[in-house]
């Protein structure tokens, strides 16, 4: 459905996207995961025909993103980071406008967006500018879907949105996937990787890895331990100074730790911390999260 071959993009001296190649299958939810400035938006803009790559080629639904851009634009859905809504039009007017631009009507494709639109319908006479962040996000998604595209590109749809609204948004994406729609979505939130079929982890213009999330986790390659003890603040420093330490990161209410050695000697680690006068030391082996994997790949 989406084909990327050796795409590269520079802005002056800054390399926004290093040579990148991958494919996305029909009906996949493909996550582009990385921090600000990683190159996510550049890649999405190339695939949505808004900017030209410096080299390489790409096809979406069989159309070349450079030569067939006109045809392609009417076929794809796109939700940019700053939602492309008309703030001085009402909810209803925005939806109608997007439908008419794409030569269709709201009625014709209502089935597809029903689940999403029903949540904002009580506010259909309200101007888009007066909606909350979560509601704007739902309206922007409805507008991006109103012409029944087979592929949609969502650029950071959940940025700045609270944890609850983010969860609801991903449930909506799952429903769109059930309609056979291919979804490319970017996000800076690592915990959203689990909702994708495959993810690309990206930073500084290069993709570390592309794989299903559970495979990324199984490729972590080290035993990961969660450590808790009294005096958490100093625990980080003391663990960093331990001779066998490979990585130490604070993670919620515990610290995630890996060793340089193949097999971690838990007893020795316990002893080390007890010698440092820590009490209530708990060391537990855990499954890495995508965030653990991302930080390991950054090393």
Partner 1 sequence: MLYGINEITGMTETYSIESKELTKKFGTFTAVDNITFQVNRGEIFGFLGANGAGKSTAIRMFCGLLTPSGGKARVAGFDVFTEREKIKQNIGYMSQRFSLYEDLTPIENIKFYGGIYGLSKQQIKKRTESLIDQLGLQKVRNTLVGSLPLGWKQKLAFSVALVHDPGIVFLDEPTGGVDPVTRREFWEMIYEAAKTGTTVFVTTHYMDEAEYCDRISIMVDGRIEALGTPAELKTQFDAITMEDVFLKLARPEH
- Residue ranges that bind partner 1, judged by CB under 8 A: 34-38, 132-134, 159-167, 188-190, 203, 233, 236, 249-253, 291, 294-295, 298
| Element (DSSP H or E) covering residue 295 | helix 290-298
| Residues 6 or more apart whose Cβ sits within 8 Å of residue 88 | 127, 128, 129
* Least gap, CB of 182 to partner 1 (angstroms): 26
Q: Which is nearer to partner 1, 27 or 188 (CB)?
A: 188
Q: How far is the CB of 41 from partner 1 (least distance, A)?
A: 11
Comparing CB distances to partner 1, the nearer of 63 and 257 is 257
Query: Is 77:1 a contact under the CB 8 Å cutoff?
Result: no
For residue 43, with 0-12 CB atoms within 10 Å meaning exposed, 13-18 middle and 19 or more buried, which class applies?
buried
Q: Which is nearer to partner 1, 34 or 53 (CB)?
A: 34
Residue closer to partner 1 by CB (options 25, 171) is 171
Q: Judged by CB, which is closer to partner 1: 77, or 288?
A: 288
Q: Are 226 and 211 in contact (CB under 8 A)?
A: no
Shortest separation between residue 147's beta carbon and partner 1, angstroms: 28
Strand partners, 286: 224
Q: Minimum distance between the CB of residue 132 and partner 1, rounded to whole angstroms?
A: 4
For 99, other C-beta atoms within 10 Å of its C-beta total: 20
As beta bridge partners, residue 164 has none
Q: State the nearest-atom distance from the C-beta of 220 to partner 1, in Å.
A: 14
């Amino acid at each position: 459905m989406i084909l990327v071959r050796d795409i590269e993009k520079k802005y002056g001296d800054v390399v926004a996207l290093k040579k990148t190649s991958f494919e996305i299958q029909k009906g996949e939810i493909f996550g582009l995961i990385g921090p600000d400035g990683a190159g996510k938006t550049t890649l999405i803009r190339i695939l949505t025909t808004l900017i030209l790559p410096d080299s390489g080629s790409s096809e979406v639904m069989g159309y070349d993103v450079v030569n067939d851009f006109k045809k392609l634009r009417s076929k794809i859905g796109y939700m940019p980071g700053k939602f492309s809504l008309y703030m001085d039009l009402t909810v209803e007017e925005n939806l109608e406008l997007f439908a008419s631009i794409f030569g269709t009507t709201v009625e014709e494709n209502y089935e597809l967006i029903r689940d999403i639109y029903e949540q904002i319908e009580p506010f259909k006479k309200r101007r888009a500018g007066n909606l909350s962040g979560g509601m704007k996000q739902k309206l922007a998604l409805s507008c991006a879907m109103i012409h029944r595209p087979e592929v949609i590109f969502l650029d950071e749809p959940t940025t700045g949105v609270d944890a609850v609204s983010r969860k609801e948004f991903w449930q909506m994406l799952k429903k769109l996937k059930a309609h056979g729609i291919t979804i490319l979505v970017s996000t800076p939130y690592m915990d959203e990787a689990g909702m994708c079929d495959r993810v690309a982890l990206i930073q500084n213009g290069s993709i570390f890895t592309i794989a299903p999330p559970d495979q990324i986790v199984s490729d972590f390659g080290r035993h990961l331990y969660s450590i808790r003890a009294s005096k958490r603040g100093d625990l980080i420093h003391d663990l960093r100074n331990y001779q066998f330490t490979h990585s130490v990161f604070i993670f919620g209410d515990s610290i995630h730790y890996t060793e340089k050695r193949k097999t971690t000697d838990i007893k020795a680690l316990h002893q080390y911390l007890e010698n440092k006068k820590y009490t209530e030391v708990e060391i537990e082996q855990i499954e890495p999260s995508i965030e653990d994997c991302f930080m390991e790949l950054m090393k």
